[in-house]
Chains A and B, each alone.
Chain A
Amino acid sequence: GAVVSQHPSWVICKSGTSVKIECRSLDFQATTMFWYRQFPKQSLMLMATSNEGSKATYEQGVEKDKFLINHASLTLSTLTVTSAHPEDSSFYICSALPQNQPQHFGDGTRLSIL
């Protein structure tokens, strides 16, 4: 149980476009989800905490207008990278918090901006 699905797994797009990444909890409801960014050979950096039905809480240094988070249902949170540029290229990972369990992670999305 506690499966988290992330889509797409890999996306390549042109500079200036916006990209939406979905994070779904498949067999549980998650009022809280998290979005992380991981640079090559580095650890995970928490970007924001996504709360169902309310605004996301962003970590210091993360631009909320750049990285839009929507958590409109108990099983889906989305991260939209707006007007993406090459420096936004990275591996983005989401996690969800089942009740009384640790965070469970999606398989990540590799974003490449040309």
Chain B
Amino acid sequence: GEDVEQSLFLSVREGDSSVINCTYTDSSSTYLYWYKQEPGAGLQLLTYIFSNMDMKQDQRLTVLLNKKDKHLSLRIADTQTGDSAIYFCAGNSGAGSYQLTFGKGTKLSVIP
């Protein structure tokens, strides 16, 4: 099955860019997702990318996908204190599957 790995912590200064990285193992994943979780809350879908795309931009968010290396990244431009949260990378567990496999999450801390 799918295995998803992320670094656990990232600390950036307010106004800088944040880059959260993720690697996955299942090349048949059709979509790859980024979710945000604030303390005590559920998961908020931030963005997702289809596996045949290299890049997707949505306002301050840029997703880069390197399918050859099975590497996914999320860049947050002009990081704000409200971006402090845990960010989960996820992939669907094989082509045609609706189930998601999540990474352990990266805790982003934004320093004012």
Distance in angstroms between the alpha carbons of A97 and B98 in the assembled complex: 8
**A→B interface (CB under 8 Å):** 4, 6, 32, 34, 42-44, 46, 49, 93, 95, 97, 102-108, 110
Judged by DSSP, the binding face of A is strand
Total residues of chain B contacting the partner, CB 8 A: 18
Tell which of B35, B41, B99 touches A49, judged by Cβ atoms closer than 8 Å: B99
User: For the complex, is B33 an interface residue (Cβ under 8 Å from A)?
Assistant: yes
* Residues of B contacting A104 in the complex (Cβ-Cβ under 8 angstroms): 45
Report yes or no: A6 in contact with B42, Cβ–Cβ below 8 A: yes
User: For the complex, is B44 an interface residue (Cβ under 8 Å from A)?
Assistant: yes
Identify which of B19-27, B72-80, B100-108 touches chain A: B100-108
Report yes or no: A93 in contact with B102, Cβ–Cβ below 8 A: no
* Residues of A contacting B104 in the complex (Cβ-Cβ under 8 angstroms): 42-43
Task: Give, as a whole number of angstroms, the nearest-CB distance from B53 to chain A.
Answer: 15
* Residues of A contacting B103 in the complex (Cβ-Cβ under 8 angstroms): 43
* Residues of A contacting B31 in the complex (Cβ-Cβ under 8 angstroms): 102
Report yes or no: A102 in contact with B42, Cβ–Cβ below 8 A: no
Report yes or no: A93 in contact with B42, Cβ–Cβ below 8 A: yes
